[in-house]
Amino acid sequence: MSDMTTNILILCTGNSCRSHIAEGILRDIASDMFDVHSAGSNPAGYVHPKAIAALAEIGIDISSHYSKHLDEFRNLDIHTVITVCGNVAQTCPVFSGQAARHHWGFEDPAQFEGSEEDTFEMFRKVRDQIKLVFTAYASGYREALSLRNADWGTEQAHR
């Protein structure tokens, strides 16, 4: 991690689907700005195989991810907490150094009931929704950084 990256913790209840999908996507598009982690308030103990497969379809490998409890991050300087399910949003603790918190709720594809094919379609749908939201977040953050750096350069030039 460089001095310029910001620690982001993505939380959901089970830390088996949505938070790992979001972690994989945000790492893929913004690892230059963020050191991304995910955890759960009640970890399932595994990463859902369909979450791994849905990300593999878009070239992101989360096969080495594992389910973690949010307490593992208590001593890390977390700048931003992002909750991706309603349950954990209600019980989310505040972390040391936390400057921001966002809640973007997504359906839990693991709770979907249907055929294998329909279930995987649900994982794809949630993956695409997460990608859209987290790409917009990273783009906005990147733009804000560039504006701040431009302003800082202007201030320095006038000294």
Positions marked catalytic: 12, 85, 92
B/e letters for 69-98, b = 16+ CB within 10 Å, e = fewer, are ebeebeeeebbbbbbbbebbbeebeebeeb
Rounded-to-integer distance, Cα 104 and Cα 86, Å: 9
| Total length of the chain | 159
Which residue in 55, 50, 1 sits closest to 28, CA to CA? 55
Contact 51, 85 (CB under 8 A): no
Cα angle 79-26-109, degrees, rounded to a multiple of 5:
110
Rounded-to-integer distance, Cα 6 and Cα 8, Å: 6
